Amino acid sequence: MKRKIQPTPDTMKKWIQTFVPDKDLFFLPEKNLAIFKEYLSNVLVVPHEEFKNHSTYKQVQLANSYEYWNLSKEVKYVLVTPPGWVNQLPVEKKIELFRIQVEVNRGLIHPISDFSVDTSYIGNNVVEVNGEKYLVLHKAMWEELSYGYKEELITDIAQQWEEWTCYDVPTQTPSNLIKFANTFPSTAGSNCLSATIFAITGQEWIIHEWVHPQTFLQSLENEDYHMISSEAIRAGDVLTWENTGGIIQHASYCIDDLFFFNKRGQTFFNAWSIVHFDDLKEDWGHYHMKSFRKHS
């Protein structure tokens, strides 16, 4: 039976502190830069190609908050602005900037319909695009909100990423996993690959890393895991799901025949959770599954 889980108060506090970054980023297609030309004296205008290769802006939390992977290919410039800059724009320019951000799929923008809380009193940070109203989050407005209101907003946002459900920890769960099973990280970056490597090595520091596919495969080799074919899945096995290009999209660690230690994504909204094999099939079944087993 599935049950709900919740982040601890301390974890929630850390989410609230870091979810809306100190730097406000606004993304512009080339045709839109001139609209804001007279307001750029207190702004860095970074060409998008340079932005993508800039170590400062590759930080995991920035990438997760602004959802770089969803950005339109039309983006050519990034405005890096101090908190409050956007509030100094004339109202019509602020609305236009927000509208553009919706159109280019900037993160930290959410349909009003996603929220269970009343957003009317922060309406000057709402923009309507194609008949839908969106709340645009930025640092200055975030700092003005009460802690309780932030907690309500971030809870609604988080559950757009993942329903906070899990299964009870199986009795045969390895001891190193019990501390983390059905809990949330307080920082961004940990992903399914690092969670799986931690499960097979017991090295706790690894669970907080953002591991990439080739590093993951090297770790499997180092731990003497090898691909198996038709054998039934058993405790200690690792499952991966690959796209058509052979790139791993997900991995999970088998606790027993049915339940797995799993992390669904790299945000701190994604729990280290106990999931059923059916959940994995539902989420990743459209990819090619492979099984790996440690040689005894």
Distant-in-sequence, close-in-space partners of 287: CB < 8 Å, separation ≥ 6: 241, 242, 243, 249, 250
Mean pLDDT to the nearest integer, 225-254: 94
At 264-291, the pLDDT tens digits run: 989 999 999 999 999 999 999 999 999 9
What confidence score (pLDDT) does residue 29 get? 98
pLDDT for position 229: 85
Average pLDDT over residues 156-185: 94
pLDDT number for residue 231:
75
User: What is the pLDDT confidence band of residue 160, given thresholds at 50, 70 and 90?
Assistant: confident
Per the document, the length of the chain is: 296
Q: What is the mean pLDDT of residues 72-97?
A: 97
The string of pLDDT tens digits covering residues 7-27 is: 999 999 999 999 999 999 999
Q: Taking 80 as the threshold, does the pLDDT of residue 230 lie above it? A: no
3-state secondary structure of 253: strand
AA identity, residue 161: W
Within 10 A of 25 (CB to CB), how many other CB atoms are there?
22
Domains of the chain (ranges; CATH) run: 3-161 (no CATH), 167-294 (3.90.1720.10)
Cβ contacts of 45-52, under 8 Å, gap ≥ 24: 45/77, 45/78, 45/79, 45/80, 46/77, 46/78, 46/79, 46/80, 47/76, 47/77, 47/78, 48/75, 48/76, 48/77, 48/78, 51/78
**Average pLDDT value over all residues in the chain:** 95
Within a 13 Å sphere around the CA of 260, how many CA atoms are in the beta-carbon half?
24
Q: What is the mean pLDDT of residues 20-45?
A: 96
